[in-house]
Structure formats: structure tokens, C-alpha cells
């Protein structure tokens, strides 16, 4: 009996120790995951700042410098061609400022909603590229708050931009499926694909963690299906009736 009792006590102690180790391991993994999420969010913010800075410096800054030069020539010479040149550069500068503003927050998103903004996004890309961009929508759209719509738009935008930069795809499709109470956003390409696990091990994994972080803030789940030479299918599922 003493041996049996001792065995039971030993088993209980061993079991509790194993459970404690498992709990500590889970907490460590969760802390590592949260750290990667934070790093990804900070990296995304820094990349966005760098992009805006580059746009302002390379586009608007250069154009305004040209306008300044043109104004000087115009004041000195008074020639009509100098006036026309200055006016042309000013028009181009205004267009560039509008483009930067539209990239930050599309007016279509604020006024007409997520579907219209994503459709316009694909149409703009189609006009500027030899790739095929498509937007598909299924089900009856439900009005959603601008903050959530903006987050979904950013996720779709980043997924498409990633596909353009890295997938070597010739076709990229955005699909919105309204399946009450869920909204399903899919971005799919026919590119070279990649190993999700390998990507997360590399520095490039911060991009994936950033997307997952945005989805998590929204309360949505993000799932990648990809393999080398097999294209990439990314699906976001969001229960919009819980917000």
C-alpha cells in the first residue's frame, strides 16, 4: 500500500510538473508571437513613413523645385512658353498630391464603401500594368464602419502589393463574399508561391505578422494556402455582426 501510495504521489507530482512546463512553454510561445506582432506593426509604420517621405521628396519636392525655377524664368522673361511650362508642372504636382492622399485614404472608401474602393483599386492597377487584376463580389453587401472598412482595404492592398512584388503572377484576383454573418476576403494569384513556414523564419516574415496583426485587431482570421510553383490563396474571415 505504501508503495502504491508513493507511486500515486510521484505520478501526481510528475503530472503537475509536466503541466506546468507545458503552460510555461505556451506562455513563452505567446510572448514570442506578441513580440513578432509588435515588431511587424512597428516595421509597417516605419515602411509607410518611408514611402510617404519618398513620395513627397521624389515627386512633390522635385516638382515644386521645378515650379520655383519656372517662376523665376517667367518673371525674368515674361514668355508665354515659360508660363505654360510652369502651369503644366503645377498641374502635375497637384495630381501627385492627390495620388498620395488617395493612397492614404481613398475618397471612394469613405463615400461609397469597401466594395467600390477595392474595385477602383483593381481598375487603377489594371490601367498601369500588363498583369490582369480582377475584383469579384458575391452576396449582398452590408454597410460597415469606416474604420473596419479601412483595415480590410489595407490588408487587401498589402496582399496585392506583395503579390505584385514577389509572386511573378500574371493574374491577381480580389474576391469579397458576403455570407452573413461573415465577410470573406480572398486575394489569390497564379504566381510562384512560397513556403509560409520558411517565410516566417526569414526577415520577410514580418510582413506576414503585420497582416496577421491587422486581422487580429479586426477580430478576423487570416489563412495562407501556398506552395512553391502553386500560386497563393489568402483568405480572411471576419464575423462583422459581432463588431
Q: Which residue has the higher pLDDT, 174 or 41?
A: 174
pLDDT for the residue numbered 211: 85
pLDDT band at 80, cuts 50/70/90? low
pLDDT for the residue numbered 210: 79
pLDDT band at 122, cuts 50/70/90? very high
pLDDT 10s digits, 151-171: 899 899 989 988 998 899 999
Number of CB atoms found within 10 A of residue 238's CB: 23
pLDDT band at 65, cuts 50/70/90? confident
Percent of residues, the chain, with pLDDT higher than 70: 69
Number of CB atoms found within 10 A of residue 157's CB: 18
pLDDT for the residue numbered 20: 75
Do residues 81 and 88 make contact, with C-beta atoms less than 8 angstroms apart? no
pLDDT band at 69, cuts 50/70/90? confident
Residues 81-91 have a mean pLDDT of 73
Set of cell numbers at residue 124:
487603377
Q: Which of 88-97, 106-115, 172-181, 184-193 has the lowest mean pLDDT?
A: 88-97
pLDDT 10s digits, 12-31: 676 677 777 777 777 776 66
pLDDT band at 102, cuts 50/70/90? low
Set of cell numbers at residue 155:
490588408
CA angle 17, 22, 23 (to 5 degrees): 95
Q: Which of 69-78, 146-155, 208-217 has the lowest mean pLDDT?
A: 69-78
Residues 185-211 have a mean pLDDT of 80
pLDDT band at 197, cuts 50/70/90? confident
pLDDT 10s digits, 224-239: 998 888 899 999 999 9
pLDDT for the residue numbered 47: 64
Amino acid at each position: 500500500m505504501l508503495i502504491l501510495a508513493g507511486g500515486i504521489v510521484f505520478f501526481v507530482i510528475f503530472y503537475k510538473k509536466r503541466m506546468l512546463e507545458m503552460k510555461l512553454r505556451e506562455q513563452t510561445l505567446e510572448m514570442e508571437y506578441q513580440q513578432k506582432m509588435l515588431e511587424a506593426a512597428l516595421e509597417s509604420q516605419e515602411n509607410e513613413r518611408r514611402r510617404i517621405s519618398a513620395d513627397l521628396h521624389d515627386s512633390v519636392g522635385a516638382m515644386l523645385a521645378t515650379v520655383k525655377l519656372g517662376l523665376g524664368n517667367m518673371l525674368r522673361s515674361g514668355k508665354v512658353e515659360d508660363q505654360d511650362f510652369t502651369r503644366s508642372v503645377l498641374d502635375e504636382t497637384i495630381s501627385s498630391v492627390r495620388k498620395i492622399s488617395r493612397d492614404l485614404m481613398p475618397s471612394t472608401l469613405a463615400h461609397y464603401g469597401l466594395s467600390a474602393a477595392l474595385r477602383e483599386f483593381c481598375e487603377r492597377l489594371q490601367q498601369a500594368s500588363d498583369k490582369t487584376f480582377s475584383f469579384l463580389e458575391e452576396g449582398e453587401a452590408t454597410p460597415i464602419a469606416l474604420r473596419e472598412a479601412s483595415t480590410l482595404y489595407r490588408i487587401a492592398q498589402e496582399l496585392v502589393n506583395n503579390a505584385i512584388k514577389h509572386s511573378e503572377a500574371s493574374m491577381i484576383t480580389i474576391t469579397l463574399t458576403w455570407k452573413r454573418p461573415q465577410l470573406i476576403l480572398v486575394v489569390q494569384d497564379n504566381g510562384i508561391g512560397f513556403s509560409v513556414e520558411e517565410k516566417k523564419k526569414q526577415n520577410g516574415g514580418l510582413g506576414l505578422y503585420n497582416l496577421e496583426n491587422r486581422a487580429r485587431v479586426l477580430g478576423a482570421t487570416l489563412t495562407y494556402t501556398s506552395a512553391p510553383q502553386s500560386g497563393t490563396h489568402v483568405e480572411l474571415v471576419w464575423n462583422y455582426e459581432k463588431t
